[in-house]
Amino acid sequence: MDSQDVVWGRRAVEELLSSGRPVRKVLLADASRPSLRGRIQDLCRQNGVECRIAPLSRLAELSRTPEHGGVVAVISPLPLLSLEQFLSVPEPERQILFAFDGVENPRNLGLAARSLAAAGVAHLLIPATGGAQPDATFLEASAGVGERLGIVRVPKLADALRELKAQGYWIFGLAGESSLTLWQHALPLPAVFVLGGETKGMHPSVRNVLHESLAIPMASNVESLNVAVTASLVAFELARRASL
């Protein structure tokens, strides 16, 4: 990682977290003082930023200096939108939103982003913690196309989905066990399509917000599809319907 991608030192990281700039995560040294930990952890919670405890050697590796002061912030290489900023985008540009719940592999997220952009989807939604973030691997997997998408990052996905539902969005989840298929539903807009993580699928708190679960019909000897493939199929089905 390039040293320009990180900020280190207590005062610099505190100012960064207070500035509203997109921060991927913050690492605190396992030997850092309790007072430092408490202040930084509070700021991370307030801003929906992942905060981890790490060994001194990891912080020195990221900052390329032993004088990191016990705290290092990793800055996002892409601009990120808040939910409020997304809702201020002109309506025609935010009719469709894809949300990723606990997708852990940034390559999967990048491949999905490439397909979404190719199908004309303008935004994707991710939680600030518990899933892949738009890092260098994401950009590589998306072949640079990920830079064209508006990436909306929120502290808690379930809360964001409830707010979107209150704003008139239909909330659909893709789930293989659903008896209702993607082809059978009218798919009214505006809508959010939620895709779960690679191993555990959607969290219960997210499932509880859905209007409906939808399945992609498959042969009985195939258990599931890769999350990027699922995103691609849904996005191009929406594009096909829009062209009719």
Domain edges within the chain: 3-75, 80-243
Residue 164: left if φ>0, alpha if ψ -120 to 50, beta else—which one? alpha
Positive/negative CA dihedral, 32, 35, 40, 44: positive
3-75 and 80-243 have identical folds: no
Q: What architecture is the 80-243 domain classified under in CATH?
A: 3-Layer(aba) Sandwich (3.40)
CATH code, residues 3-75: 3.30.1330.30
Residue 103 has a pLDDT of 95
pLDDT confidence bin for 134, thresholds 50/70/90: confident
pLDDT digits (tens, 9 = 90+) for 148-181: 899 999 989 999 999 999 999 999 999 988 889 9
Cis check: omega of the bond before 190, within 30 degrees of 0: yes
pLDDT digits (tens, 9 = 90+) for 37-46: 888 999 988 8
